[in-house]
Amino acid sequence: MIQWRLQAKLDRRFKSGHPWAYSNELQGSPKGIEPGAAVELRDAGGAFLARGYGNAASLISFRTVSRDESETDALEPAGVARRLERAWKLRAALGFEAYSFRLIFGEGDSLPGLIVDRFVSSAGKSVLVVQGQTAGADRWTRDWPEIMKHWERKFDAIVIKNDSSARKWEGLELEGPKVLSGLSTLTEKELSRLMIAVRPAAAALAKPVTFEVDLLEGQKTGFFLDQWANTELVLSRLKHAFSGKVRILDLCCYVGQWSVQLASALEQAGIAVEVMLVDASKDALDLAAKNVKANAPKAKVNTLQGNVLKDLTELQDQSYDVVISDPPALIKNRKDIPTGTHAYLQLHTQAMRVAKRGGWLVACSCSGLLAEEAFQETLAKAARRNGLGGAHLQWVARGGQSPDHPVLAEFPEGRYLKAWLAHLG
């Protein structure tokens, strides 16, 4: 196995537990290896530090898979399978096993660059959607049939979906979805219109909420599982806030996760619900409207197709009891931080204008490069623009990604999702 060494004075961060080593921390230039090849990292004196994989073309040259020197097969199919099983047991302990959940969250599960979502359909079918975002993870996706030989769990379909834009930073091509024929019994048509079961955010709901999703052509893996904990948080805070009728504005709704969770809980509590769904994608809006009606059949549902940064003026004469602002990542890389931060300011300025006084705002950002403090200041500036300073805008809850997206204590980069709930006094 290829061996690399860290420079003596640049090893403190890695020895403290951070899973990455950068190219400028290594002795010599990390050239001459295939991207994603197995690498053994040692300190300046030659002592073992970790096994992982390398990519000489990336600023992040080394990513850790194991710090156990005796685990010689950590990067092999058997080692990947052990981590899959360990991750499954964690999600089961957290109460997710009966629902759709994120099974592998990269570094958080000692499989850097790998994303695996497990979806369970309303008919009980189990599907894995696998994404490799880095060179090493890309190798694992190509070895998936071999990996499954070392893992006893069976699935009705496995989809390899290597279309993440993050692959470009690793020199990888974006690829179309691939259903592993030898390991799948569901057809592409079934996977493109699968009804999945998601854990209900309201404890009073005895059965899961359901969503029709496209696991082949939909965004990311087909559904955003990271917001579940935030929907639970918001519902727990607002369960005594409403009576009669509630109007919800769901910005960047995609397939309607927020509206479905809120509307189903409110309708069960005897509260009439009206939902306005806003998204740039007509296909997403169609699915979102269908999903809300399937879970809250009495709800009144309207849709608006458009760019939330430009088209909210159509809603300026309306006021909503709950406004949800959950845009896609507006900051893709460091050079986008100024323009992306301004876009968050624009969006939340508009969102606050259409929320009624006495109403509620859910403000989210999934841009990992936007620091929590910077997001807070952006929201405060949006409030000042609307004359909502001081006691007029009261932040009552702070959320983050769901627990099936675990974060290593030594890896703050893994905490990317920010969510705040505010009362507009």
CA distance 362 to 66: 38
Start-to-end C-alpha separation, the chain: 62
Whole-prediction pTM value? 0.94
DSSP letter assigned to residue 296: -
H helices of 44-104, where?
Answer: 77-93
* Percent above pLDDT 70 for the chain: 100
Mean pLDDT for 224-252 is: 95
- Per CATH, the number for 2-66 is 2.30.130.10
Q: What value does the mean pLDDT take over residues 344-352? A: 93
**According to the model, what pLDDT value does residue 390 have?**
65
What torsion do the CA atoms of 343, 374, 236, 218 make, to the nearest 10 degrees? 40
Architecture of domain 77-194: 2-Layer Sandwich (3.30)
Statement: 224-424 belongs to CATH 3.40.50.150: yes
Answer yes or no: is pLDDT of 94 > 90: yes
Asked whether residue 222 carries a pLDDT value surpassing 80, the answer given is: yes
Considering the chain, tell me which residue range(s) the CATH 3.40.50.150 domain(s) occupy: 224-424
Q: Where in the chain is the domain with CATH 3.30.750.80?
A: 77-194
**Nearest C-alpha neighbor of 178 from the set 142, 153, 148:** 142
Choose the weakest-confidence range: 97-106, 240-249, 389-398. 389-398
pLDDT band at residue 317 under the 50/70/90 scheme: confident
- Per-residue pLDDT, 309: 79
Output the six-digit token pair for 188.
């592409």
Mean pLDDT (the chain) is: 94
Q: How confident is the model at residue 249 (pLDDT cuts 50, 70, 90)?
A: very high
378-388, pLDDT tens digit by residue?
999 999 998 87
pLDDT digits over 155-207, tens only? 999 999 999 999 998 999 999 999 998 899 999 999 999 999 999 999 878 78
Alpha-helical runs (H) found in 120-253: 135-142, 144-148, 188-191, 228-238
